[in-house]
Structure 1
Amino acid sequence: MELVLLTGVSGFIAKHVALKLLNAGYSVRGTLRRMDRADEVRAALAPYLTEHAGELSFVQADLESDAGWAEAFQGVAALVHTASPFPGAQPKDPAQVIRPAVEGTERVLKAAAAAGVTRVVLTSSTVAVLNEAKPDTLQDEADWCDTHLPTTTPYARSKTLAERAAWEIAKTRGLRLTTINPGLVFGPPLDGHYGTSLALVERILKGRDPMMPLVGQPVVDVRDVAEMHLRALERPETIGRRYIAASGSMAFVDMGRTLKAAYPTRRIPTREAPQVLVRLLALFDPSIRTILPKLGHLERVSNARAVKEMGMEFIAPKAALLAAADWLVKHGRIRA
């Protein structure tokens, strides 16, 4: 079966993508910045692999260095590029996020083109879709984040500029590109390395905040995101198109109420915080500062293209949230 190069294989989404690809019979070569994480990835995937799974191997390569990429692409039929920095709080220097995301995407896609690998599936984000100049409107793949708005976060800029760079390289180098644009990714991780999105669920379960800000975002289950990468790879008709991965939107206060209903003995916030209080707290908490531009808005995107063209049947937002919470509780990440 074909060999797929999967960048950033140790990531939360990437591990699920690797599992989908392997169980579909593909061989997967995962890139790692540090080879000492190879055993971690193998251990995470092992319980879920079928007897017909493809072979898993690893290669050392870093988004910020040219070293190793030419070797990584040897014998590869397709690239799935998931690696990109995802900060819990926006950095003081936006370039810390933007530069590695954009330059890393350029480096990897140009290396693919140089190696004659033309089929590419790229993990982007709904932040590259959502235009803050159109708050509370249903947005779709025709929409793009406006990177020139002063309220656009460095993370949103990084994903938008990286995706635009990918489309430009695809155009000039003849790459057959598909992008997957996930919302806030919940669902169960395959191991304890789950990053920023599940850290939000952890924060709510721990009752760290007495109230919830009036903010809402598109939500998706990680298993659906992985399935969309597989379907994109296997369906030539997806080439040249973006696909939003989202099952609906949830306000943070609804996340709190959903989790409180599931875990009634836990001190979980269910009240909506006054906006003036959120702005005050943001002065002291960088992770709260991140959401200020979105305060008072429910961001909404359409998944119609993924449903129609990929045949996706999405896991509901509440089910994705509860699956994440259930994993965190069962694996001792939250004290009883």
Structure 2
Amino acid sequence: MKNQLVVVTGGSGFIASRIIIQLLEQGYSVRTTIRSSKKIELVKKLLTRGGIKDFSNLSFEMADLTSDNNWEKVMNDATYVIHPASPTPTLHFKNEDEMIKPAVNGVLRVLKASRDNGIKRVVLTSAYGAIFAGHKNRNTPYTEKDWSNLNAKNIHPYQKSKTLSERAAWDFIKNQGHGLELSTVNPVGVMGPVLASDYSHSNIQIQQLLEGKIKAVPNINSGYVDVRDVANLHLLAMTSPKANGERFLATTGETLSMLDVANILRETFPKYADKLPTKVMPNILVKTAALIDPKLRMVASLLGVYAETSKEKAVTMLDWHPRSAKEAIIATAQSMIDLGIIK
């Protein structure tokens, strides 16, 4: 059943480009959406760096998640849709609706167009942010059964947007899906080799660490997963009969502090050792700084937060086997060094 057509939204994205690479390698045809024709060359550059030499099974369509235009054409003759694209979160929002509404409306736009054009299954890239936020005194690993508690205090709008857009997707499937299938993939911090200087916000911390921009790290714990394994989980969720109606946490099941990450880099790349931090910043300093700098608000909301996760479901149900968090972190750094991104 290869040579089926799969629509992948936002083809220039960090996760999306890896999904396209794996689909083309497995013999699928891919149609990807871009917001402007200027992105075509960028996408081809990313895919070439990822090992793709033949673009005959790849096509492009212009479509924007904030507009209804062209989505019917995007979906025409496709069997599956993988939806990693999301309106880019703005850090300088006037109110949280600026982040939440485009996320929810974008997901519903893709689902409606998928249903109306006979798509079999949509795989939505959700986030760990839809699972962990707002849980006090947690001491057991998060699983796919968990949902972020939006009634809790200090939930960052990004986490709200991810939670509400995924909730909206499941509600749509239940009430208006008419047989359309849905699976979601909820990644923790996504690392892994970058293919250009345009990559996910999780990776920026590796660049900042290696460039000596972080003198002391905040007290934050996180799970990390390699982008290649996240892409692979999307493909498994797309084709496995068992995956219909299911959420999958994309995590290695390991939890690292930011100091652990700095130490992995120090051990592997001794040339950068003197640039890497050795101290943890007191929470009060981070919280005070966040009052002045909006970019630090999300960081401040994660200080000391429990972050253990379970990979059990994806491993047992879909036979998914991710690389270690350490491998993913090292691959990120190595790719940035190789591409001359580290200044």
Question: TM over 0.5, yes or no?
Answer: yes
Q: Distance in 2 between matches of 1:299 and 1:168?
A: 27
Say which SS state the counterpart of residue 108 (structure 1) adopts. Answer: helix
Structure 1 gaps, min length 5: none
Q: Distance in 2 between matches of 1:190 and 1:55?
A: 20
Q: Distance in 2 between matches of 1:88 and 1:188?
A: 25
Q: Deviations over 1:230-270 (max 9, x none)?
A: 11112111111000001122111111121122233431112
What is the deviation of 1:281? 2.2
Aligned to 1:211: 216
What is the deviation of 1:47? 4.4
Q: Distance in 2 between matches of 1:52 and 1:234?
A: 24
Pairs aligned (count): 335
Aligned to 1:256: 262
- Aligned match for 2:45, one of 37, 43, 46: 43
What is the deviation of 1:202? 1.0
- Aligned match for 1:291, one of 295, 299, 302: 299
* Residue pair 1:121, 1:229 contacting (<8 A) in 2 also: yes
What is the deviation of 1:285? 2.9
* Residue pair 1:249, 1:298 contacting (<8 A) in 2 also: no
What is the deviation of 1:148? 2.3
Aligned to 2:309: 301
Structure 1 residues 311, 56: CA separation in 2 closer, same or farther (over 3 Å shift)? same
What is the deviation of 1:286? 2.5
What is the deviation of 1:320? 0.7
Q: Are residues 1:27 and 2:29 paired?
A: yes
Aligned to 1:153: 156
Q: Distance in 2 between matches of 1:257 and 1:289?
A: 25
Greater alpha carbon shift after TM alignment, 262-271 vs 140-149: 262-271
Say which SS state the counterpart of residue 214 (structure 2) adopts. Answer: coil
What is the deviation of 1:333? 1.0
* Residue pair 1:2, 1:77 contacting (<8 A) in 2 also: yes
Say which SS state the counterpart of residue 139 (structure 1) adopts. Answer: coil
Structure 1 residues 292, 90: CA separation in 2 closer, same or farther (over 3 Å shift)? farther
- Aligned match for 1:282, one of 287, 290, 300: 290
Structure 2 gaps, min length 5: none
Q: Distance in 1 between matches of 2:89 and 2:208?
A: 15
* Residue pair 1:131, 1:143 contacting (<8 A) in 2 also: no
Say which SS state the counterpart of residue 270 (structure 2) adopts. Answer: coil
Q: Distance in 2 between matches of 1:45 and 1:162?
A: 29
* Residue pair 2:214, 2:277 contacting (<8 A) in 1 also: yes
Structure 1 residues 253, 88: CA separation in 2 closer, same or farther (over 3 Å shift)? farther
Aligned to 1:105: 107
Q: Deviations over 1:53-79 (max 9, x none)?
A: 870000000000000101111111111
- Aligned match for 1:326, one of 316, 323, 334: 334
* Residue pair 1:14, 1:82 contacting (<8 A) in 2 also: yes
Structure 1 residues 20, 129: CA separation in 2 closer, same or farther (over 3 Å shift)? same
Amino acid corresponding to residue 205 of structure 1 in structure 2 = L
Amino acid corresponding to residue 258 of structure 1 in structure 2 = I
Q: Distance in 1 between matches of 2:313 and 2:300?
A: 30
Aligned to 1:220: 225
Q: Distance in 2 between matches of 1:269 and 1:298?
A: 22
* Residue pair 1:28, 1:54 contacting (<8 A) in 2 also: no
What is the deviation of 1:283? 2.8
What is the deviation of 1:170? 1.4
What is the deviation of 1:112? 0.8
Aligned to 2:72: 70
Q: Distance in 2 between matches of 1:33 and 1:244?
A: 28
Structure 1 residues 204, 85: CA separation in 2 closer, same or farther (over 3 Å shift)? farther
Amino acid corresponding to residue 277 of structure 1 in structure 2 = L
Q: Distance in 2 between matches of 1:91 and 1:204?
A: 27
Q: Deviations over 1:260-297 (max 9, x none)?
A: 22233431112111111212222333232212122112
Structure 1 residues 127, 159: CA separation in 2 closer, same or farther (over 3 Å shift)? same
Q: Percent identity?
A: 37
Q: Distance in 2 between matches of 1:311 and 1:213?
A: 35
Q: Distance in 2 between matches of 1:90 and 1:322?
A: 31
Q: Deviations over 1:95-126 (max 9, x none)?
A: 22211110000011011111121311110011
Amino acid corresponding to residue 98 of structure 1 in structure 2 = I
What is the deviation of 1:139? 0.9
Say which SS state the counterpart of residue 67 (structure 2) adopts. Answer: coil
* TM-align CA RMSD: 1.8
Q: Deviations over 1:141-171 (max 9, x none)?
A: 0000112222111110111111111111111
